[in-house]
Amino acid sequence: MKLFIAGHNGMVGGALVRRFQAEPGVQLVLRTRKELDLTSQAAVHAFLAAEKPDVVIMAAAKVGGIHANNTYPADFAYDNLVIATNTIHGAYAAGVKRFLFLGSSCIYPKLAPQPMPESCLLTGPLEPTNEAYAIAKIAGLKLCEYYRKQHGVLYHSAMPTNLYGPGDNYHPQNSHVLPALIRKFHEAKEAGRPEVVAWGSGSPKREFLHVDDLADACAFLLRLDNPPDLLNIGTGTDVTIRELTELVAEVTGFTGRIAWDATKPDGTPRKLMDVSKLAALGWKAKTALRDGVRLTYASYLAELKAGSLR
Ligand code: GFB
C-alpha cells in the first residue's frame, strides 16, 4: 500500500509516520511544506497525479488553541478549506481509492448532548471561538461523504477529540491547553516563580487523547472494508481544566499557586465524544491521561534539550 500522509511534520502526522513505519507492506509518501504547498491547487493536483498513492491520510491543518482560533478566523477557515478541497478533489482526479480525512470534535454544536454522538453534526450553532475551523472541517468531511456517494470512492472521516503528545506546539499564546500548561509549569518551576496563571474559569471539561492512540485508531479504520462516513475517536472520559492543571503541576513538579485569568475565554463548556460506534467496531484508547502527560512532559524536555521545540 502506497500511503501519502499529508502533514507528516505535525504532531498528528508524526504519530502516523511512527505507526505506519512499523506496518509491513506500507510504502510511505511524504512531502515537507517546502516540497509541496498544500494550499496550491496546481501543485497538489500535479503531485497526486504523478505519485498516485493508494491511500491518503489528511493530517495537515492549520491548528491552534482557543486564542489562535478566536484571533485568526480568516486564516483558520481559508487554509483548512483550501487544503481540504485541493487534496480531496486532487485525490479523486488522480484515481486515489481511499482517503481518510481528519477533523476535530469542535465540528459539533456548542451545546450538543454529552457525550456527543456523530448524529449531532449540524443540529445547532457552533462554539464561536472556533467556528471558522469547524466550518472548514465540516466542509471537508462533507466533501468526502459526497465524493463517496457520487463517485463510489472510499473517502471517509474521523473526528478526534483534543489531542496531545510528542511534537506538539508549545507557543505561549497559540497552543492548546495541555502543551501550554506543560510549558508554563515547567518554566515557573525552573525560574522559582510562585504562581502560574491559567486561562478562564477552570470549569470547562475536555477529553484528551494521546496522539499515538489516534494513529493506532487510523490504522484500525483503514482496515475496515466499509467504514462509516464519520467516526468519533476519543477516550470516552473527560476532566475539568482545573483537574488538568493540577495533574500537569504534579507531573512537572510545580508546587506553587495556580491563579485563573477570567478575561480569557472558556470556550465550549464540555465536548466529550460518544465513542460507542468505534468501540462496537472493536477499538479503544490505551493511554491513561496521567501516563500520557508523563510521556509528553518527557518528550517536551527532550525537545527542549535538542532545541527542536515548536
Ligand atoms: O485547548 P484550548 O486552547 O482549546 O483550551 P479548546 C481549552 C480550555 O483550557 C479553555 C483553558 O477553557 C481555556 O480557557 N485554558 C486554561 C487554557 N489555561 C490555558 C492556557 O494556558 N492555554 C490555553 N490554550 N487554554 C480548541 C479549538 O478548543 O480545541 C480548536 O479552538 C480545536 O478548534 C481544538 O477544536 C481541539 O478545547 O477550547
CB 157 within 8 A of CB 139: no
CB of 90 shorter than 6 A to ligand 1 = no
Complex confidence, ipTM: 0.97
226 residue type, one letter: N
CB of 132 shorter than 6 A to ligand 1 = no
Nearest CA to ligand 1 atom 11: 199
Q: What angle do CA 275, 279, 281 make, to 5 degrees?
A: 125
Nearest CA to ligand 1 atom 7: 177
| Ligand 1 mean position, distance from CA 200 (Å) | 9
CB of 176 shorter than 6 A to ligand 1 = yes
**One digit per residue, pLDDT tens: the chain, 310 residues?**
999 999 999 999 999 999 999 899 999 999 999 999 999 999 999 999 999 999 999 999 999 999 999 999 999 999 999 999 999 999 999 999 999 999 999 999 999 999 999 999 999 999 999 999 999 999 999 999 999 999 999 999 999 999 999 999 999 999 999 999 999 999 999 999 999 999 999 999 999 999 999 999 999 999 999 999 999 999 999 999 999 999 999 999 999 999 999 999 999 999 999 999 999 999 999 999 999 999 999 999 999 999 989 8
Pocket test for ligand 1, best of 104, 176, 266 (most atoms within 8 A of CB): 176
Q: pTM for the complete prediction?
A: 0.97
Helical H runs in the chain?
Answer: 11-21, 41-51, 66-71, 73-93, 131-151, 177-191, 211-222, 241-252, 276-281, 289-306
| Ligand 1 mean position, distance from CA 66 (Å) | 4
